[in-house]
Structure 1
Amino acid sequence: MARTVTVSKPTTWLLRLIAVTYVFFLVAWPVGLLVRRTFSNGLTNLTDALSDEKVVGALQLTAVVAGWAVVINLVFGVTISILLVRFEFPGKRVLSALVDLPLSVSPVVVGLALVLAYNGRDGLVGPALEDGGLQIIFATPGMIMATCFVALPLVIREVVPTLTEIGDDQEQAARSLGASAPQTFWRITLPSIKWAVIYGVVLSLGRAVGEFGAVKVVSGNITNETQTATLLVEAKYQNFQQDQAYAIAFLLILVSVACLLVVAFLRPKNEK
Protein backbone atom coordinates (compact mmCIF):
# COMPACT_ATOMS: atom_id res chain seq x y z
CA MET A 1 0.00 0.00 0.00
CA ALA A 2 1.36 3.39 -0.99
CA ARG A 3 2.10 5.76 1.87
CA THR A 4 1.17 9.42 1.59
CA VAL A 5 3.98 11.80 2.51
CA THR A 6 2.94 15.07 4.07
CA VAL A 7 5.18 18.03 3.25
CA SER A 8 5.06 21.24 5.20
CA LYS A 9 4.13 24.48 3.46
CA PRO A 10 7.57 26.10 3.90
CA THR A 11 9.19 23.00 2.39
CA THR A 12 6.79 23.16 -0.56
CA TRP A 13 7.64 26.79 -1.22
CA LEU A 14 11.36 26.04 -0.92
CA LEU A 15 11.12 23.24 -3.48
CA ARG A 16 9.18 25.50 -5.83
CA LEU A 17 11.80 28.23 -5.45
CA ILE A 18 14.61 25.80 -6.21
CA ALA A 19 12.79 24.47 -9.29
CA VAL A 20 11.96 27.96 -10.62
CA THR A 21 15.49 29.22 -9.97
CA TYR A 22 17.01 26.23 -11.76
CA VAL A 23 14.77 26.64 -14.82
CA PHE A 24 15.33 30.40 -14.85
CA PHE A 25 19.13 30.25 -14.95
CA LEU A 26 19.25 27.23 -17.26
CA VAL A 27 16.51 28.15 -19.78
CA ALA A 28 14.65 31.42 -19.29
CA TRP A 29 17.59 33.76 -18.74
CA PRO A 30 19.78 32.58 -21.68
CA VAL A 31 16.80 32.49 -24.05
CA GLY A 32 15.68 35.91 -22.84
CA LEU A 33 19.13 37.35 -23.52
CA LEU A 34 19.07 35.85 -27.01
CA VAL A 35 15.69 37.43 -27.73
CA ARG A 36 16.88 40.78 -26.39
CA ARG A 37 19.99 40.71 -28.57
CA THR A 38 17.89 39.75 -31.58
CA PHE A 39 15.65 42.80 -31.20
CA SER A 40 18.32 45.19 -29.90
CA ASN A 41 18.02 47.12 -33.19
CA GLY A 42 14.31 46.59 -33.64
CA LEU A 43 13.53 44.30 -36.57
CA THR A 44 16.76 45.16 -38.38
CA ASN A 45 18.59 41.97 -37.37
CA LEU A 46 15.75 39.78 -38.57
CA THR A 47 15.23 41.63 -41.85
CA ASP A 48 18.96 41.63 -42.57
CA ALA A 49 19.15 37.91 -41.91
CA LEU A 50 16.11 37.07 -44.04
CA SER A 51 17.46 39.17 -46.92
CA ASP A 52 20.66 37.11 -46.97
CA GLU A 53 20.54 34.34 -49.60
CA LYS A 54 22.74 32.12 -47.43
CA VAL A 55 20.28 32.37 -44.54
CA VAL A 56 17.26 31.67 -46.72
CA GLY A 57 18.96 28.69 -48.32
CA ALA A 58 20.00 27.31 -44.91
CA LEU A 59 16.47 27.67 -43.55
CA GLN A 60 15.01 25.94 -46.61
CA LEU A 61 17.49 23.07 -46.30
CA THR A 62 16.70 22.77 -42.59
CA ALA A 63 13.00 22.53 -43.39
CA VAL A 64 13.63 19.80 -45.97
CA VAL A 65 15.88 17.74 -43.69
CA ALA A 66 13.66 18.14 -40.63
CA GLY A 67 10.48 17.45 -42.60
CA TRP A 68 11.75 14.21 -44.09
CA ALA A 69 13.23 13.11 -40.76
CA VAL A 70 9.94 13.69 -38.95
CA VAL A 71 7.92 11.79 -41.58
CA ILE A 72 10.33 8.84 -41.55
CA ASN A 73 10.48 8.73 -37.76
CA LEU A 74 6.69 8.96 -37.57
CA VAL A 75 6.20 5.90 -39.77
CA PHE A 76 8.94 3.77 -38.28
CA GLY A 77 8.42 5.09 -34.75
CA VAL A 78 4.76 4.05 -34.60
CA THR A 79 5.58 0.71 -36.27
CA ILE A 80 8.37 -0.09 -33.81
CA SER A 81 6.19 1.00 -30.88
CA ILE A 82 3.42 -1.41 -31.87
CA LEU A 83 6.00 -4.15 -32.39
CA LEU A 84 7.50 -3.62 -28.92
CA VAL A 85 4.16 -3.49 -27.10
CA ARG A 86 1.89 -5.88 -28.99
CA PHE A 87 4.28 -8.69 -29.95
CA GLU A 88 6.73 -11.05 -28.25
CA PHE A 89 9.77 -12.11 -30.25
CA PRO A 90 13.43 -13.04 -29.74
CA GLY A 91 15.61 -9.96 -29.43
CA LYS A 92 12.83 -7.70 -28.18
CA ARG A 93 14.97 -6.32 -25.34
CA VAL A 94 17.86 -5.76 -27.71
CA LEU A 95 15.62 -3.75 -30.06
CA SER A 96 14.32 -1.69 -27.13
CA ALA A 97 17.89 -0.95 -26.04
CA LEU A 98 18.90 0.02 -29.58
CA VAL A 99 16.01 2.47 -29.73
CA ASP A 100 17.46 4.31 -26.72
CA LEU A 101 20.99 4.30 -28.16
CA PRO A 102 20.70 7.77 -29.78
CA LEU A 103 19.99 9.24 -26.33
CA SER A 104 23.30 8.02 -24.94
CA VAL A 105 25.63 8.32 -27.95
CA SER A 106 27.20 11.63 -28.96
CA PRO A 107 25.75 12.98 -32.24
CA VAL A 108 29.30 13.50 -33.48
CA VAL A 109 29.94 9.77 -33.05
CA VAL A 110 26.74 9.08 -35.00
CA GLY A 111 27.90 11.29 -37.84
CA LEU A 112 31.32 9.63 -37.94
CA ALA A 113 29.73 6.15 -37.99
CA LEU A 114 27.55 7.15 -40.94
CA VAL A 115 30.59 8.48 -42.78
CA LEU A 116 32.41 5.19 -42.25
CA ALA A 117 29.41 3.20 -43.47
CA TYR A 118 28.30 5.31 -46.44
CA ASN A 119 31.39 7.18 -47.57
CA GLY A 120 31.70 6.92 -51.32
CA ARG A 121 35.43 6.08 -51.23
CA ASP A 122 35.87 3.41 -48.58
CA GLY A 123 32.46 3.00 -46.90
CA LEU A 124 30.75 -0.35 -46.60
CA VAL A 125 28.00 0.40 -49.10
CA GLY A 126 28.85 3.94 -50.16
CA PRO A 127 30.78 3.04 -53.33
CA ALA A 128 27.96 0.84 -54.61
CA LEU A 129 25.40 3.56 -53.93
CA GLU A 130 27.48 6.21 -55.66
CA ASP A 131 27.95 3.92 -58.66
CA GLY A 132 24.16 3.83 -58.82
CA GLY A 133 24.01 7.63 -58.78
CA LEU A 134 23.08 8.12 -55.09
CA GLN A 135 25.43 10.12 -52.89
CA ILE A 136 24.77 9.78 -49.15
CA ILE A 137 27.60 11.54 -47.34
CA PHE A 138 28.08 15.29 -47.91
CA ALA A 139 24.58 15.40 -49.37
CA THR A 140 20.99 15.75 -48.20
CA PRO A 141 20.30 11.99 -47.77
CA GLY A 142 23.12 11.66 -45.23
CA MET A 143 21.86 14.68 -43.31
CA ILE A 144 18.37 13.18 -43.20
CA MET A 145 19.75 9.85 -41.97
CA ALA A 146 21.75 11.55 -39.21
CA THR A 147 18.73 13.57 -38.11
CA CYS A 148 16.49 10.48 -38.13
CA PHE A 149 18.97 8.68 -35.90
CA VAL A 150 19.15 11.32 -33.18
CA ALA A 151 15.36 11.97 -33.15
CA LEU A 152 14.05 8.39 -33.43
CA PRO A 153 13.49 7.67 -29.69
CA LEU A 154 11.30 10.75 -29.20
CA VAL A 155 8.32 9.29 -31.07
CA ILE A 156 8.72 5.78 -29.71
CA ARG A 157 9.07 6.79 -26.06
CA GLU A 158 5.87 8.83 -26.30
CA VAL A 159 3.81 6.11 -28.01
CA VAL A 160 4.99 3.00 -26.12
CA PRO A 161 3.63 4.03 -22.66
CA THR A 162 0.29 5.02 -24.19
CA LEU A 163 -0.06 1.72 -26.04
CA THR A 164 0.79 -0.14 -22.84
CA GLU A 165 -1.77 1.83 -20.84
CA ILE A 166 -4.74 1.40 -23.21
CA GLY A 167 -4.15 -2.33 -23.63
CA ASP A 168 -5.42 -4.35 -26.59
CA ASP A 169 -8.99 -5.21 -25.52
CA GLN A 170 -10.61 -2.95 -28.11
CA GLU A 171 -8.28 -4.18 -30.84
CA GLN A 172 -9.11 -7.81 -30.05
CA ALA A 173 -12.81 -6.98 -30.06
CA ALA A 174 -12.49 -5.32 -33.47
CA ARG A 175 -10.65 -8.31 -34.89
CA SER A 176 -13.25 -10.70 -33.46
CA LEU A 177 -15.92 -8.74 -35.34
CA GLY A 178 -14.07 -9.22 -38.61
CA ALA A 179 -12.01 -6.03 -38.85
CA SER A 180 -8.77 -6.35 -40.80
CA ALA A 181 -5.41 -5.26 -39.40
CA PRO A 182 -5.41 -1.92 -41.32
CA GLN A 183 -9.01 -1.20 -40.22
CA THR A 184 -8.13 -1.96 -36.60
CA PHE A 185 -5.13 0.34 -36.75
CA TRP A 186 -6.89 3.32 -38.39
CA ARG A 187 -10.14 3.09 -36.42
CA ILE A 188 -9.02 1.80 -32.99
CA THR A 189 -5.29 2.04 -32.37
CA LEU A 190 -4.41 5.37 -33.99
CA PRO A 191 -7.27 7.39 -32.41
CA SER A 192 -6.21 6.03 -29.01
CA ILE A 193 -2.60 7.11 -29.37
CA LYS A 194 -3.03 10.24 -31.49
CA TRP A 195 -1.89 12.71 -28.84
CA ALA A 196 1.15 10.62 -28.00
CA VAL A 197 1.97 10.58 -31.72
CA ILE A 198 1.47 14.34 -31.98
CA TYR A 199 3.72 15.04 -29.00
CA GLY A 200 6.32 12.67 -30.39
CA VAL A 201 6.21 14.46 -33.74
CA VAL A 202 6.55 17.87 -32.06
CA LEU A 203 9.54 16.73 -30.00
CA SER A 204 11.06 15.06 -33.04
CA LEU A 205 10.61 18.22 -35.10
CA GLY A 206 12.25 20.37 -32.44
CA ARG A 207 15.16 17.94 -32.19
CA ALA A 208 15.51 17.73 -35.96
CA VAL A 209 15.48 21.49 -36.48
CA GLY A 210 18.13 22.02 -33.81
CA GLU A 211 20.48 19.13 -34.66
CA PHE A 212 24.10 20.21 -35.02
CA GLY A 213 26.82 17.64 -34.33
CA ALA A 214 25.79 14.68 -36.49
CA VAL A 215 24.68 16.91 -39.36
CA LYS A 216 27.93 18.85 -39.33
CA VAL A 217 29.98 15.66 -39.73
CA VAL A 218 27.95 14.13 -42.57
CA SER A 219 27.18 17.36 -44.42
CA GLY A 220 30.64 18.83 -44.78
CA ASN A 221 29.09 22.23 -43.92
CA ILE A 222 29.30 23.49 -47.50
CA THR A 223 27.86 26.99 -47.90
CA ASN A 224 24.72 27.18 -50.07
CA GLU A 225 24.75 23.40 -50.48
CA THR A 226 24.78 21.43 -47.23
CA GLN A 227 24.76 24.14 -44.58
CA THR A 228 21.70 24.01 -42.31
CA ALA A 229 20.52 26.85 -40.08
CA THR A 230 22.31 25.53 -36.98
CA LEU A 231 25.59 25.28 -38.87
CA LEU A 232 25.07 28.78 -40.23
CA VAL A 233 24.59 30.13 -36.70
CA GLU A 234 28.07 28.88 -35.82
CA ALA A 235 29.55 30.28 -39.03
CA LYS A 236 27.96 33.71 -38.56
CA TYR A 237 29.05 33.91 -34.93
CA GLN A 238 32.64 32.94 -35.72
CA ASN A 239 32.74 35.45 -38.57
CA PHE A 240 31.78 38.26 -36.18
CA GLN A 241 28.26 38.53 -37.58
CA GLN A 242 26.67 37.98 -34.21
CA ASP A 243 23.51 39.96 -34.97
CA GLN A 244 22.54 37.60 -37.78
CA ALA A 245 23.55 34.60 -35.65
CA TYR A 246 21.16 35.76 -32.93
CA ALA A 247 18.40 36.28 -35.47
CA ILE A 248 18.76 32.80 -36.98
CA ALA A 249 18.88 31.21 -33.54
CA PHE A 250 15.72 33.12 -32.58
CA LEU A 251 13.93 31.78 -35.67
CA LEU A 252 14.87 28.22 -34.70
CA ILE A 253 13.53 28.75 -31.19
CA LEU A 254 10.38 30.30 -32.64
CA VAL A 255 9.66 27.13 -34.65
CA SER A 256 9.85 24.91 -31.56
CA VAL A 257 7.76 27.26 -29.43
CA ALA A 258 5.15 27.58 -32.19
CA CYS A 259 4.80 23.79 -32.39
CA LEU A 260 4.22 23.52 -28.64
CA LEU A 261 1.68 26.35 -28.69
CA VAL A 262 -0.25 24.80 -31.57
CA VAL A 263 -0.49 21.48 -29.71
CA ALA A 264 -1.54 23.24 -26.49
CA PHE A 265 -4.37 25.12 -28.21
CA LEU A 266 -5.60 22.23 -30.35
CA ARG A 267 -5.58 19.61 -27.62
CA PRO A 268 -9.10 19.02 -26.20
CA LYS A 269 -9.66 20.13 -22.62
CA ASN A 270 -10.57 16.62 -21.49
CA GLU A 271 -7.16 15.38 -22.72
CA LYS A 272 -5.19 17.84 -20.59
Structure 2
Amino acid sequence: MTRFFLWCATWGLIGLVLLMPPAVILAEALSHGIMPALKTLQDPDGIAAIELTLEVTVVAVVLNTIFGILAAWLLTRFRFPGRGLLLVLVELPLSISPVVSGLVWLLLFGAQGWWGSALDRMGIQIAFAVPGIILATLFVTLPYVVRTLIPLMEQQGRDAEEAATLAGAGFWQILFRVTLPGARVALFSGVLMTTARAMGEFGAVSVVSGHIPGLTETMPLHIESLYNGYQTVAAFTMAALLAFMSMTVVFLRSLPDFMNRTREDPS
Protein backbone atom coordinates (compact mmCIF):
# COMPACT_ATOMS: atom_id res chain seq x y z
CA MET A 1 0.00 0.00 0.00
CA THR A 2 2.80 2.38 0.93
CA ARG A 3 4.62 1.56 -2.28
CA PHE A 4 1.50 2.28 -4.36
CA PHE A 5 0.94 5.59 -2.56
CA LEU A 6 4.53 6.69 -3.17
CA TRP A 7 4.25 5.64 -6.83
CA CYS A 8 1.07 7.71 -7.28
CA ALA A 9 2.50 10.69 -5.41
CA THR A 10 5.72 10.65 -7.45
CA TRP A 11 3.99 10.45 -10.82
CA GLY A 12 1.39 13.00 -9.71
CA LEU A 13 4.12 15.49 -8.80
CA ILE A 14 6.01 14.79 -12.04
CA GLY A 15 2.86 15.27 -14.07
CA LEU A 16 1.96 18.52 -12.31
CA VAL A 17 5.42 20.12 -12.19
CA LEU A 18 7.26 18.65 -15.19
CA LEU A 19 4.77 17.43 -17.78
CA MET A 20 1.94 19.93 -17.52
CA PRO A 21 3.96 23.13 -18.28
CA PRO A 22 5.33 21.97 -21.67
CA ALA A 23 1.94 20.48 -22.55
CA VAL A 24 0.22 23.81 -21.81
CA ILE A 25 2.86 25.72 -23.77
CA LEU A 26 2.38 23.48 -26.80
CA ALA A 27 -1.41 23.72 -26.58
CA GLU A 28 -1.28 27.52 -26.46
CA ALA A 29 1.18 27.66 -29.35
CA LEU A 30 -1.13 25.54 -31.52
CA SER A 31 -4.36 27.17 -30.35
CA HIS A 32 -4.84 28.80 -33.79
CA GLY A 33 -3.36 25.93 -35.79
CA ILE A 34 0.14 24.87 -36.75
CA MET A 35 0.58 27.21 -39.73
CA PRO A 36 -0.04 30.47 -37.79
CA ALA A 37 2.35 29.18 -35.13
CA LEU A 38 5.10 28.41 -37.65
CA LYS A 39 4.54 31.76 -39.36
CA THR A 40 5.40 33.60 -36.15
CA LEU A 41 8.88 32.04 -36.23
CA GLN A 42 9.57 33.81 -39.53
CA ASP A 43 9.56 37.20 -37.84
CA PRO A 44 13.01 38.86 -38.28
CA ASP A 45 13.30 39.64 -34.57
CA GLY A 46 12.43 36.03 -33.73
CA ILE A 47 15.03 34.69 -36.16
CA ALA A 48 17.61 37.08 -34.71
CA ALA A 49 16.76 35.86 -31.19
CA ILE A 50 17.23 32.23 -32.21
CA GLU A 51 20.54 32.97 -33.94
CA LEU A 52 21.84 34.97 -30.97
CA THR A 53 20.84 32.23 -28.53
CA LEU A 54 22.70 29.61 -30.56
CA GLU A 55 25.73 31.87 -30.96
CA VAL A 56 25.98 32.64 -27.25
CA THR A 57 25.39 29.00 -26.35
CA VAL A 58 28.19 27.77 -28.62
CA VAL A 59 30.68 30.30 -27.24
CA ALA A 60 29.73 29.58 -23.62
CA VAL A 61 29.89 25.81 -24.07
CA VAL A 62 33.26 25.86 -25.83
CA LEU A 63 34.94 28.22 -23.36
CA ASN A 64 33.48 26.62 -20.24
CA THR A 65 34.32 23.13 -21.50
CA ILE A 66 37.97 24.13 -21.92
CA PHE A 67 38.00 25.86 -18.53
CA GLY A 68 36.14 23.00 -16.87
CA ILE A 69 38.56 20.35 -18.10
CA LEU A 70 41.66 22.29 -17.04
CA ALA A 71 40.17 23.41 -13.70
CA ALA A 72 38.99 19.90 -12.81
CA TRP A 73 42.42 18.47 -13.66
CA LEU A 74 44.13 21.12 -11.52
CA LEU A 75 41.78 20.64 -8.55
CA THR A 76 41.99 16.84 -8.55
CA ARG A 77 45.68 16.37 -9.27
CA PHE A 78 47.26 18.97 -6.99
CA ARG A 79 46.97 20.20 -3.41
CA PHE A 80 47.91 23.87 -3.11
CA PRO A 81 47.14 26.90 -0.91
CA GLY A 82 43.78 28.38 -1.84
CA ARG A 83 42.41 25.16 -3.35
CA GLY A 84 39.36 25.24 -1.06
CA LEU A 85 38.71 28.87 -1.95
CA LEU A 86 38.95 28.04 -5.66
CA LEU A 87 36.36 25.27 -5.23
CA VAL A 88 34.03 27.72 -3.50
CA LEU A 89 34.50 30.31 -6.25
CA VAL A 90 33.78 27.73 -8.96
CA GLU A 91 30.46 26.96 -7.28
CA LEU A 92 29.60 30.63 -6.66
CA PRO A 93 27.34 30.97 -9.76
CA LEU A 94 25.14 28.18 -8.38
CA SER A 95 24.35 30.12 -5.23
CA ILE A 96 24.24 33.74 -6.35
CA SER A 97 21.22 35.20 -8.14
CA PRO A 98 21.78 35.62 -11.90
CA VAL A 99 20.25 39.10 -11.62
CA VAL A 100 23.01 40.06 -9.20
CA SER A 101 25.68 38.84 -11.63
CA GLY A 102 24.07 40.89 -14.39
CA LEU A 103 24.18 43.99 -12.20
CA VAL A 104 27.87 43.36 -11.52
CA TRP A 105 28.62 43.37 -15.26
CA LEU A 106 26.73 46.66 -15.57
CA LEU A 107 28.73 48.08 -12.66
CA LEU A 108 31.95 47.14 -14.43
CA PHE A 109 31.15 47.79 -18.10
CA GLY A 110 28.05 50.03 -18.17
CA ALA A 111 28.18 53.63 -19.37
CA GLN A 112 28.39 54.79 -15.74
CA GLY A 113 30.45 51.81 -14.63
CA TRP A 114 34.05 51.53 -13.49
CA TRP A 115 35.48 50.91 -16.96
CA GLY A 116 32.55 52.08 -19.08
CA SER A 117 33.92 55.50 -20.06
CA ALA A 118 37.36 54.09 -20.94
CA LEU A 119 35.81 51.38 -23.11
CA ASP A 120 33.56 53.96 -24.76
CA ARG A 121 36.58 56.07 -25.73
CA MET A 122 38.11 52.98 -27.35
CA GLY A 123 34.88 52.25 -29.20
CA ILE A 124 34.27 49.03 -27.29
CA GLN A 125 30.75 48.22 -26.07
CA ILE A 126 30.19 45.34 -23.69
CA ALA A 127 27.05 46.23 -21.74
CA PHE A 128 23.87 46.25 -23.85
CA ALA A 129 25.73 44.32 -26.55
CA VAL A 130 26.57 40.73 -27.44
CA PRO A 131 29.86 40.63 -25.44
CA GLY A 132 27.94 41.44 -22.25
CA ILE A 133 25.45 38.66 -22.96
CA ILE A 134 28.31 36.22 -23.49
CA LEU A 135 29.99 37.27 -20.23
CA ALA A 136 26.74 36.89 -18.29
CA THR A 137 26.12 33.45 -19.80
CA LEU A 138 29.69 32.34 -19.14
CA PHE A 139 29.30 33.23 -15.47
CA VAL A 140 26.07 31.33 -14.87
CA THR A 141 27.24 28.23 -16.78
CA LEU A 142 30.79 28.09 -15.42
CA PRO A 143 30.38 25.34 -12.75
CA TYR A 144 28.72 22.53 -14.70
CA VAL A 145 31.60 20.91 -16.59
CA VAL A 146 34.11 21.23 -13.75
CA ARG A 147 31.69 19.94 -11.10
CA THR A 148 30.73 16.88 -13.15
CA LEU A 149 34.35 16.03 -13.92
CA ILE A 150 35.84 16.42 -10.43
CA PRO A 151 34.23 13.34 -8.76
CA LEU A 152 35.16 11.03 -11.64
CA MET A 153 38.70 12.35 -11.95
CA GLU A 154 39.19 11.87 -8.21
CA GLN A 155 37.94 8.31 -8.56
CA GLN A 156 40.32 7.64 -11.46
CA GLY A 157 43.40 8.45 -9.41
CA ARG A 158 46.81 9.20 -10.89
CA ASP A 159 48.24 5.73 -11.54
CA ALA A 160 47.51 5.67 -15.28
CA GLU A 161 48.74 9.23 -15.71
CA GLU A 162 51.98 8.51 -13.85
CA ALA A 163 52.53 5.43 -16.00
CA ALA A 164 52.02 7.53 -19.13
CA THR A 165 54.44 10.13 -17.80
CA LEU A 166 57.12 7.46 -17.25
CA ALA A 167 56.51 6.30 -20.82
CA GLY A 168 57.38 9.79 -22.04
CA ALA A 169 53.91 11.20 -22.73
CA GLY A 170 53.41 14.95 -22.49
CA PHE A 171 50.67 16.85 -20.69
CA TRP A 172 48.29 17.09 -23.64
CA GLN A 173 48.82 13.45 -24.61
CA ILE A 174 48.02 12.36 -21.04
CA LEU A 175 44.98 14.61 -20.87
CA PHE A 176 43.41 13.54 -24.16
CA ARG A 177 44.52 9.89 -24.31
CA VAL A 178 44.47 8.84 -20.65
CA THR A 179 42.37 11.16 -18.47
CA LEU A 180 39.48 12.29 -20.65
CA PRO A 181 38.61 8.94 -22.27
CA GLY A 182 37.80 7.57 -18.83
CA ALA A 183 35.73 10.65 -17.99
CA ARG A 184 33.91 11.04 -21.30
CA VAL A 185 30.45 10.30 -19.86
CA ALA A 186 30.86 12.93 -17.13
CA LEU A 187 32.26 15.39 -19.66
CA PHE A 188 29.36 14.73 -22.02
CA SER A 189 26.89 15.30 -19.19
CA GLY A 190 28.57 18.53 -18.11
CA VAL A 191 28.64 19.89 -21.66
CA LEU A 192 24.94 19.20 -22.12
CA MET A 193 24.06 20.76 -18.76
CA THR A 194 26.02 23.84 -19.81
CA THR A 195 24.17 23.89 -23.12
CA ALA A 196 20.73 23.71 -21.54
CA ARG A 197 21.59 26.39 -18.97
CA ALA A 198 23.03 28.72 -21.60
CA MET A 199 19.98 28.44 -23.87
CA GLY A 200 17.52 29.15 -21.08
CA GLU A 201 19.34 31.86 -19.11
CA PHE A 202 17.13 34.87 -18.46
CA GLY A 203 18.04 36.83 -15.33
CA ALA A 204 21.65 37.85 -15.93
CA VAL A 205 21.14 38.31 -19.67
CA SER A 206 18.02 40.41 -19.10
CA VAL A 207 19.94 42.89 -16.95
CA VAL A 208 23.01 43.25 -19.16
CA SER A 209 21.43 43.02 -22.64
CA GLY A 210 19.24 46.12 -22.74
CA HIS A 211 16.38 44.16 -24.38
CA ILE A 212 17.05 45.55 -27.88
CA PRO A 213 14.81 43.62 -30.33
CA GLY A 214 16.73 42.05 -33.17
CA LEU A 215 20.08 42.85 -31.58
CA THR A 216 20.40 41.77 -27.94
CA GLU A 217 17.30 39.69 -27.32
CA THR A 218 17.89 35.99 -26.81
CA MET A 219 15.00 33.55 -27.03
CA PRO A 220 13.93 33.87 -23.35
CA LEU A 221 14.01 37.67 -23.59
CA HIS A 222 12.12 37.64 -26.88
CA ILE A 223 9.45 35.41 -25.35
CA GLU A 224 8.94 37.97 -22.57
CA SER A 225 8.72 40.82 -25.10
CA LEU A 226 6.16 38.95 -27.18
CA TYR A 227 4.05 38.05 -24.17
CA ASN A 228 4.14 41.59 -22.79
CA GLY A 229 3.10 42.78 -26.26
CA TYR A 230 0.04 40.50 -26.17
CA GLN A 231 1.40 38.36 -29.03
CA THR A 232 0.35 35.20 -27.23
CA VAL A 233 0.66 32.70 -30.08
CA ALA A 234 4.10 33.98 -31.06
CA ALA A 235 5.27 33.94 -27.44
CA PHE A 236 4.13 30.38 -26.78
CA THR A 237 5.48 29.18 -30.14
CA MET A 238 8.92 30.54 -29.31
CA ALA A 239 8.59 29.05 -25.82
CA ALA A 240 7.65 25.68 -27.31
CA LEU A 241 10.71 25.79 -29.57
CA LEU A 242 12.97 26.63 -26.63
CA ALA A 243 11.38 23.87 -24.55
CA PHE A 244 11.91 21.39 -27.37
CA MET A 245 15.58 22.37 -27.62
CA SER A 246 16.04 21.99 -23.87
CA MET A 247 14.23 18.64 -23.74
CA THR A 248 16.39 17.38 -26.60
CA VAL A 249 19.48 18.24 -24.55
CA VAL A 250 18.03 16.43 -21.51
CA PHE A 251 17.26 13.37 -23.65
CA LEU A 252 20.81 13.30 -25.03
CA ARG A 253 22.19 13.56 -21.48
CA SER A 254 20.19 10.51 -20.36
CA LEU A 255 21.01 8.50 -23.49
CA PRO A 256 24.31 6.98 -22.24
CA ASP A 257 22.63 5.67 -19.06
CA PHE A 258 19.74 4.25 -21.08
CA MET A 259 22.13 2.49 -23.48
CA ASN A 260 24.14 1.05 -20.58
CA ARG A 261 20.98 -0.34 -18.95
CA THR A 262 19.91 -1.83 -22.27
CA ARG A 263 23.23 -3.63 -22.70
CA GLU A 264 23.12 -4.93 -19.14
CA ASP A 265 19.52 -6.15 -19.46
CA PRO A 266 18.76 -7.04 -23.10
CA SER A 267 15.35 -8.43 -22.11
Question: Does TM, scored on the shorter chain, surpass 0.5?
Answer: yes
- Pairing 1:203–2:184 present: no
Q: Deviations over 1:101-123 (max 9, x none)?
A: 1111111111001110122x332
Gaps of 5+ in 1: 1-9
Checking the alignment, whether the CA contact within 8 Å between 1:45 and 1:247 is kept in structure 2 is no
Checking the alignment, whether the CA contact within 8 Å between 2:185 and 2:256 is kept in structure 1 is no
Checking the alignment, whether the CA contact within 8 Å between 2:119 and 2:125 is kept in structure 1 is yes
What CA distance in whole angstroms lies between the structure 2 residues aligned with 1:267 and 1:189?
21
* Matched residue SS, 1:32: helix
- 2:90 corresponds to which of 91, 99, 112: 99
Q: Report deviation, 1:54.
A: 0.9
Structure 1 pair 43/135, CA: closer, same or farther in 2 (3 Å)?
Answer: same
* Structure with larger RCO (C-alpha < 8 A, sep 6+): 2
- Pairing 1:63–2:54 present: yes
Q: Deviations over 1:196-221 (max 9, x none)?
A: 11111111111110111100111100
What CA distance in whole angstroms lies between the structure 1 residues aligned with 2:114 and 2:68?
26
Aligned to 1:51: 42
> How many residue pairs get matched?
262
Structure 1 pair 145/243, CA: closer, same or farther in 2 (3 Å)?
Answer: same
Q: Which moved more, 1:204-213 or 1:150-159?
A: 150-159
Gaps of 5+ in 2: 263-267
Letter aligned with residue 139 of structure 1: A
Aligned to 1:228: 218
What CA distance in whole angstroms lies between the structure 1 residues aligned with 2:173 and 2:257?
25
Q: Report deviation, 1:18.
A: 2.0
What CA distance in whole angstroms lies between the structure 2 residues aligned with 1:105 and 1:191?
33
* Matched residue SS, 2:142: helix
1:1-272 correspondence to structure 2 within 5 Å: 10-119=1-110, 121-265=111-255, 269-270=259-260
Q: Which moved more, 1:13-22 or 1:217-226?
A: 13-22
What CA distance in whole angstroms lies between the structure 1 residues aligned with 2:85 and 2:261?
33
Q: TM-score, normalised by structure 1?
A: 0.90
What CA distance in whole angstroms lies between the structure 2 residues aligned with 1:161 and 1:131?
46
Q: Deviations over 1:55-101 (max 9, x none)?
A: 00111111111111111111111111111111111111111111111
Checking the alignment, whether the CA contact within 8 Å between 2:53 and 2:218 is kept in structure 1 is yes
Structure 1 pair 19/125, CA: closer, same or farther in 2 (3 Å)?
Answer: same
Q: TM-score, normalised by structure 2?
A: 0.92
Structure 1 pair 16/75, CA: closer, same or farther in 2 (3 Å)?
Answer: same
> Once the two structures are aligned, what percentage of the paired residues are identical?
38
Checking the alignment, whether the CA contact within 8 Å between 2:37 and 2:237 is kept in structure 1 is yes
